[in-house]
């Protein structure tokens, strides 16, 4: 377990580096398309560095704001606060900030940069659906993300994936306005420039790669968080029952977005479980492993 956590931290550092390289590649692609590859690559590296630095300090606030989370008053949500406090004592963790999201869909997520600067957000739908034991399992899952340092890279991904999407969208719109014919030399026949063509391909592929990386971030960490939660509560049936209720529920989490989908305890967006002809491709972008697999693993504990 602890070796997995150490490995998780190493992969997190590597993942941030890869994200920076993806953003730099997008900058180079924009440069090749509009006429100055080196300058745009340097600019993209600076921007990606600033994004990574800013995300480290502010991405949790962004994730909470995007999800329309509000602080949970202790007198109004005493049961939730008591569960979090008890599990934090058992796990040797500082108590995170607790937020409520007014959404009928049952879901929850954790965010922050480290255990001392973390937050947990749960929907009103989750509080209504889960009994105490099941809610304890869900809270333990989110606290495990905090203890395992999943929250840092997952929270960074919110802004970094968004940055890649924003840069590529702006570049493609610029190409559209210019007719896609701006060359490196500044003339209007850049469409035959092979570097420009490579740049266009990179602009198309970059958001896809970023989304696939976002999905990989979550899938690799959800199973570890499930197992860690059972270690924390000493009662796997609680989390199993909670996941079974989440599986039976088909409500879409309206407070979620594609940028924050990987943060939640289960896939919050619609369209999950596609078994059609393109089902295999769609699974590449699923931010969570199937609930059936997660439940089956926990039953083996």
Q: If pLDDT is split at 50, 70 and 90, which confidence band does 148 have?
A: confident
Q: If pLDDT is split at 50, 70 and 90, which confidence band does 255 have?
A: confident
pLDDT at res. 214 = 62
Q: If pLDDT is split at 50, 70 and 90, which confidence band does 23 have?
A: confident
What is the mean pLDDT of the segment spanning 25-53? 71
pLDDT of 272 above 70: no
Q: Is the pTM of this model over 0.85?
A: no
Q: If pLDDT is split at 50, 70 and 90, which confidence band does 263 have?
A: confident
List, in order, residues 6 or more apart from 203 with CB less than 8 Å away.
26, 29, 30, 33, 168, 171, 172, 175
CA 151-156-160 angle, 5° bins:
155
- Which pair of structure tokens corresponds to residue 284? 């590449």
Which has the closest alpha carbon to 225: 109, 116, 77?
109
Q: If pLDDT is split at 50, 70 and 90, which confidence band does 174 have?
A: low
- Annotated catalytic residue: which of 134, 142, 222, 266? 142
pLDDT at res. 185 = 46
Give tens-digit pLDDT for 81-104.
999 999 999 999 999 999 999 999
Task: List, in sequence order, every residue forming a beta bridge with 69; answer none if it has no partner.
Answer: 101
244 is catalytic: no
> 36-49 in b/e burial notation, b at 16+ Cβ within 10 A?
ebeebbebbbebbe
Q: What percent of the chain has pLDDT over 70?
A: 63
CA distance readout (Å), 46 to 32, 98, 146, 152, 208:
18, 34, 29, 21, 22
Q: If pLDDT is split at 50, 70 and 90, which confidence band does 234 have?
A: very high
- Provide the sign of the torsion angle of the four alpha carbons 237, 130, 256, 272, taken in this order: positive
pLDDT of 252 above 50: yes
Q: If pLDDT is split at 50, 70 and 90, which confidence band does 262 have?
A: confident
Lowest mean pLDDT among 66-70, 109-113, 164-168, 237-241: 164-168
Query: Pick the residue with more confidence: 144 or 274?
Result: 144
The mean pLDDT value of the chain amounts to 78
Query: Pick the residue with more confidence: 149 or 125?
Result: 125
pLDDT at res. 188 = 46
């Amino acid at each position: 377990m602890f070796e997995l956590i150490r490995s998780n931290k190493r992969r997190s550092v590597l993942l941030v580096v890869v994200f920076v390289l993806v953003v730099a590649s997008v900058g180079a692609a924009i440069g090749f398309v509009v006429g100055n590859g080196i300058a745009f690559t340097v600019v993209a590296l600076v921007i990606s560095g600033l994004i990574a630095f800013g995300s480290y300090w502010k991405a949790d606030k962004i994730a909470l704001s995007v999800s329309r989370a509000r602080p949970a008053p202790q007198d109004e949500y005493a049961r939730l606060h008591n569960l979090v406090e008890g599990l934090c004592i058992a796990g040797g963790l500082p108590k995170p900030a607790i937020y409520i999201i007014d959404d009928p869909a049952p879901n929850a997520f954790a965010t922050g940069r480290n255990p001392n600067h973390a937050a947990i957000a749960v929907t009103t739908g989750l509080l209504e659906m889960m009994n105490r034991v099941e809610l304890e399992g869900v809270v333990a899952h989110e606290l495990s993300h905090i203890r395992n340092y999943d929250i840092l890279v997952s929270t960074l991904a919110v802004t970094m994936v968004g940055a890649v999407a924003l840069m590529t969208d702006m570049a493609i719109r610029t190409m559209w306005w210019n007719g896609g014919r701006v060359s490196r030399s500044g003339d209007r026949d850049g469409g035959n420039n092979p570097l420009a063509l490579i740049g266009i391909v990179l602009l198309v592929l970059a958001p896809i790669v970023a989304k696939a990386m976002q999905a990989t971030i979550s899938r690799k960490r959800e199973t570890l968080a499930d197992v860690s939660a059972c270690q924390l509560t000493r009662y796997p049936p609680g989390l199993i029952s909670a996941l079974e209720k989440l599986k039976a529920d088909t409500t879409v989490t309206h407070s979620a977005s594609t940028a924050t989908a990987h943060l939640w305890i289960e896939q919050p967006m619609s369209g999950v479980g596609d078994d059609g002809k393109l089902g295999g491709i769609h699974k590449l972008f699923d931010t969570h492993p199937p609930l059936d697999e997660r439940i089956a693993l926990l039953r083996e504990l």
